[in-house]
Structure 1
Amino acid sequence: MKHIAALRDVVTPWSDGLEPSDAELDAIEAEMDVVLAEVELLDALIVLLDRPASEFDGRRIRRAHNRVLAARRDAANRATGTQVSGDAA
């Protein structure tokens, strides 16, 4: 029987490149607004798994969905460099 400790370098080789690069961290940070908006939408939808939706729940889901769309729009505008303050949604 072989122990995993003996094969540790084969399973998870150590490398100085295991940390994310600055470019990867910047990409994650650029996507963070979209991720947070999607998490908020998922939270609103998860609440409805065990009960029927009320009028308040419907408004919460619509607002969360609009935040996701706005975050995606802003991320796309930043990616193309065409963001202008006051843009319509």
Structure 2
Amino acid sequence: MQDIGTDQDAVTGVGFDGEPSKQELDEIDREMPVILAEVDLLDARIICLDRVPSELDRRRIRRARRRLLAARRALADRPDSGEAA
């Protein structure tokens, strides 16, 4: 009986060591403010899942949403973002 399996090099064309490249790490670092703002917004929303949101909760969500929008805008405005303006 012959084992059936894939050869990683045959599938991808290059060896994959399982670690992110320097370029991928730099991209993650550049996007980190957006990622953290998304986490803050998610945390604010999770707090309100099991109760009726209070005025404080609504303000917390609004602030988190504004921080997320500002972080996204800052990322899009960066000249090295790689996106067309």
* Normalised-by-shorter TM-score class: 0.7 to 0.9
Identity over aligned pairs, percent: 57
Q: How many residues align?
A: 73
Return the TM-score normalized by structure 1: 0.71
**Cα deviation, residue 23, structure 1:** 0.4
Q: Which runs of 5+ in 2 are unaligned?
A: 9-14
Letter in 2 for 1:44: A
**2:16 & 2:67 partners in 1: Cα distance?**
38
**How well do the aligned residues superpose, as a CA RMSD in angstroms?**
2.3
**1:45 & 1:18 partners in 2: Cα distance?**
34
Q: Which runs of 5+ in 1 are unaligned?
A: 1-9, 81-89
Return the TM-score normalized by structure 2: 0.74
1:42 matched to 2:9: no
What are the residue-to-residue correspondences of 1:8-19 with 2, within 5 Å?
Answer: 15=15, 17-19=17-19
1:24 matched to 2:24: yes
1:44 match: secondary structure: helix
**Moved >3 Å (runs of 4+):** none
Q: CA offsets per residue over residues 43-89 of structure 1, 9 Å max, x none?
A: 00001110001010010000000000000000001126xxxxxxxxx
Q: CA offsets per residue over residues 5-48 of structure 1, 9 Å max, x none?
A: xxxxx58x6x5532111000001111110010000000000011
1:50 match: secondary structure: coil
